[in-house]
Amino acid sequence: MFELTDMQKQLQASARQLAEKVIAPRAAEIDKTEEYPWDNVQALTDAGFMGMTIPESHGGLGLNYMDTVLVVEEMAKVCGVTARIVVEGNMGAVGAIMKFGTEAQKILAAGLVLKGDKPAICITEPGAGSAASEMTTRADKKGDGYLLNGTKHWITGGGVSKLHLIFARVFEDGEAQGIAGFVCVRDPDNGIEPKGLRIGAREPAMGLRGIPETEIIFEDLEIPADMMLVPPDGLRRGFAGLMTAYNGQRVGAATVALGLAQGAYELALDYAHDRQQFGRPIAEFQGLQWMLVDMSIGIEASRQ
């Protein structure tokens, strides 16, 4: 039987304490105001929950994805937005950069994430998801760099993220070479506003309104060649390699759903014990017990 290590149990308990005492009280307000929870980000950063997967050599804790999802689930029980921030502060873009990036790219990414930045991974397009054959955003070689043109859609953290990892189809002398990632920083508060990167329309997201989902438009965005991210297999297999790192974010997204379900179940269970009908708690009625059991079975099955 699988069991958590003592370190993992301690990590989980620390995350639960932060979630219940700091994150939970503001969850409804965040969803209502649709404002990015910078104070929650600071609390996560102070607790060491941003950049947990970054190697110790670059200032992180060197934890794995199993460790990370323990924190994600505890946050998701009370606030889906905060849980998503933890996911993208440890997986996705930062995971790809720490796995395949140059030393300069790793130092850049680690420096931002460990200070609380939630990177944005820019893959999805209006007419394409993660299907490489349908990607239209292109990066044309020009001099010592590349010009990016295209539109990305449903980018989590658009407008609040500093670190961006942009997937684009690379062209040299008009010939397609493959797909690569491009590292770009946008930080208006510190005067870093790349010409050619524009934040577009924001899309609504039920239950996750506190974290913007936006379009990002690239119009001759200049990226230096040393900010191109390519796996060891090269451009021809670049997309497949980069997606192996991105798959960690899919695990994180699934964990957010799991945590939301667990949180909803616990609320339902508490309500069933508190709510009285016919002189006794409704939790004592068999029909409702079946519903709660079905919920619990579904949640436990999703953990396997």
- Which amino acid would we find at residue 101? G
Superfamily of domain 120-243: Butyryl-CoA Dehydrogenase, subunit A, domain 2 (2.40.110.10)
Which residues have a Cβ under 8 Å from the Cβ of 5 and sit 6 or more positions away? none
**What pLDDT score does 1 carry?**
62
Q: Is 119:165 a contact under the CB 8 Å cutoff?
A: yes
- The pLDDT assigned to 131 comes to 72
Amino acid identity for residue 144 in this structure: D
| Whole-angstrom distance, CA of residue 217 vs CA of residue 244 | 25
Distance CA 13, CA 175 (A): 53
Q: With contact defined as beta carbons under 8 Å apart, do 86 and 23 qualify?
A: no
Residue type (1 letter), 231: P
**Residue 300: in which H helix or E strand, if any?**
helix 286-303
Domain segments of the chain as ranges: 120-243
Per-residue pLDDT at 76: 98
Gyration radius of the chain's alpha carbons: 21
Q: Is 157 exposed, middle or buried (0-12, 13-18, 19+ CB in 10 A)?
A: buried
192 token code pair: 């870093």
- How far apart are alpha carbons 81 and 211 in whole angstroms? 6
Confidence at residue 204, expressed as pLDDT on a 0 to 100 scale:
87
pLDDT digit string (tens) for 213-270?
A: 999 999 999 999 999 998 777 777 777 777 777 788 899 999 999 999 999 999 999 9
Q: Determine the distance from the C-alpha atom of residue 148 to the mean position of all C-alpha atoms in its chain, rounded to a whole number.
A: 23
Cross-strand partners of 169: 138, 179
Task: Quote the pLDDT of residue 284.
Answer: 93
Q: Retrieve residue 125's tokens.
A: 């397009």
278 phi and psi, to 5 degrees?
55, 35
**pLDDT < 70 regions, the chain:** 1, 130, 132
Confidence at residue 160, expressed as pLDDT on a 0 to 100 scale: 97
